Amino acid sequence: MKPLYLAGKAVSVRVDGPALKVSKPEEADRLFPLRRLSRVISSPRVDWELPALLACASHGINVNFLADDGSLLARCIGQADDHDGLDQLLEAFLYRPDWEPLYRQWLAAVENMALRSLLRRSGLVLDGAPEAKELEHWFRNGAESMGAGRAYARLGRELQSLLMTVVGQFLTDLGMDITHWRQQRFDLVGDIASVLLWDFQLALLRWLEDRLVREQALMVPSRLEIVQFFEARRERTDRLLVGLVARLHHWLRDH
């Protein structure tokens, strides 16, 4: 199963039997079988017919719309399969009056784990425990010193949004109602995506530096280039995501 990225002018999507039919002027229509799609990431300019969206929903496929600035604009959530386990543990946990401070402790712990992994790979040495704000400042300054501050900010938004599409689909496949959790001030999708984003920071700076050397002038990468950069790291990202959710599952069983 693979993701489907849709962008461009005058692109339309409709359902054709067990597949999505994507049409573009002066090009042959393309069919994408629903059973082979993991998720869909679309520009808001793409013209979707309602039956196509409903077909994705009935197959458990999330359709995510990314704005021009890289932010996640909207999400059409696919129908989750019934699943015992994590969803029920979260349901019970969120009924606790102290759920929020406990959850923030867990989130801080896994973020700290991600920061320590980043420090080991970067060779940076800090006094004391790693602080997210300190590292954010270090990476932002590194990008700005190359004249890549604007590109770095744009890439951060795009990668966060793309990670949210992956996390959202993964949790949906586990049977979780992620829309319901968001209404409870529990943004598990965004929180896990933010932890995973730390793993991209070194590769991101190196990519920007390489582009600067090759092009002599650093332009903001196109969405296609960003998607290619993101998908090249998907195997590692998927492993980290599975590990994070497994940690959450074990932690909830103990609480």
Mean pLDDT of all residues in 75-79: 79
Q: Is residue 169 part of a domain?
A: yes
177 and 211: one domain? Answer: yes
Nearest to residue 138, comparing CAs of 216, 198, 69, 196? 198
Q: Is residue 174 part of a domain?
A: yes
166 and 215: one domain? Answer: yes
Q: How many residues make up the chain in this entry?
A: 255
Q: What tokens does 194 get?
A: 């933010």
47 and 167: one domain? Answer: no
Look at the alpha carbons of 233, 61, 191, 6 in this order and tell me if their dihedral is positive or negative: positive
pLDDT digits (tens, 9 = 90+) for 127-169: 666 688 888 888 888 888 888 888 888 899 999 999 999 999 9
Is the pLDDT reported for residue 109 higher than 80? yes
What is the band of 91 on the pLDDT scale with cuts at 50, 70, 90?
confident
111 and 207: one domain? Answer: yes
pLDDT at 50: 93
Is the pLDDT reported for residue 44 higher than 60? yes
How many contiguous H segments (helices) and E segments (strands) does the chain have? 10, 8
Residue 214's Cβ-count burial label (10 Å; 0-12, 13-18, 19+) is exposed
What is the DSSP track for 26-40?
A: TS--EEEEGGGEEEE
Is the pLDDT reported for residue 113 higher than 70? yes
Range of the domain at 38: 2-76
Q: Is residue 81 part of a domain?
A: no
Query: Which residues are bridge partners to 12 per DSSP?
Result: 23, 47
63 and 105: one domain? Answer: no
pLDDT digits (tens, 9 = 90+) for 185-241: 788 999 999 999 999 999 998 888 888 887 756 678 888 899 999 999 999 999 999
Give the count of domains, the chain. 2
39 and 145: one domain? Answer: no
| Location of structure tokens 């795009």 | 158
pTM: 0.82
Q: Is residue 212 part of a domain?
A: yes
Q: Are 170 and 245 in contact (CB under 8 A)?
A: yes
